[in-house]
Amino acid sequence: MAAISAGEFERIFKDLYRPLCMFALRFTEKTEDAEDVVQQAFADVWDKCSHNVAIANFKSYLYQAVRNRSLTLIAQSADTGQTTEFLADMEDTSEEEQMYQSERDARLWAAIDELPPERKKIFLLSKRDGLKYQEIAEELNISIKTVENQIGKALKTLRETAVRIYCFFFS
């Protein structure tokens, strides 16, 4: 495919941006770096398309570009004395498995984003930030029972989503 329309590019961007960010985050460990890597990969693809460079499989091309850019960023960080401890673990996982995990993670985060605002806030304070129920209750000025109920409802919703994700990938 030598040329791609702006509408088609936008569709690809919307479909792949979040999974690619999750993929890059496995390498970069920083959300801002992951987003920068993905945005630059998309900019490069758009530039190639505008110069009629053929890209046969955009998804594969973008994952490879994001992987390469992420590794370059890591190498540059290592040159400045910053290191990542999990890089050896990444080598044990196939690229296909990494893509699957990134897409699964993106779907899970999309489900978290769809939780009602207060439930999402309570859930993230617990699971992402590691706060105990008592700490959440104090911070939000609500009862511990409310925290327990909201976490329970969020987990139920996310379990249902996880089943749909599993069915999507393994059907």
Structure-block tokens of residue 109: 């985060």
Distances (CA, A) of 16 to 63, 78, 110, 122, 130: 9, 28, 13, 28, 29
**Which position has the higher pLDDT, 160 or 83?**
160
**Which position has the higher pLDDT, 167 or 22?**
22
Assign residue 89 a region (left: φ > 0; alpha: ψ between -120 and 50; beta: otherwise): alpha
pLDDT one-digit tens code per residue, 122-156: 988 887 777 889 999 999 999 999 999 998 998 88
3-state secondary structure of 42: helix
Give the span between the Cα atoms of 68 and 76, in whole angstroms.
12
The C-alpha angle 77, 82, 83, rounded to 5 degrees, equals 95
pLDDT one-digit tens code per residue, 70-112: 888 888 776 555 554 544 445 556 677 777 777 777 777 788 8
pLDDT one-digit tens code per residue, 28-79: 888 888 889 999 999 988 888 888 888 888 888 888 888 888 888 888 776 5
pLDDT one-digit tens code per residue, 7-28: 888 898 988 888 888 888 888 8
pLDDT one-digit tens code per residue, 148-157: 999 899 888 8
Residue 143 phi/psi, 5° resolution?
Answer: -80, 155
Residue 115 phi/psi, 5° resolution?
Answer: -65, 150
Domains defined for the chain, CATH in brackets: 1-93 (1.10.1740), 114-171 (1.10.10)
pLDDT value at 2 more than 70: no
| Closest to 23 (Cα-Cα) out of 108, 97, 92 | 97
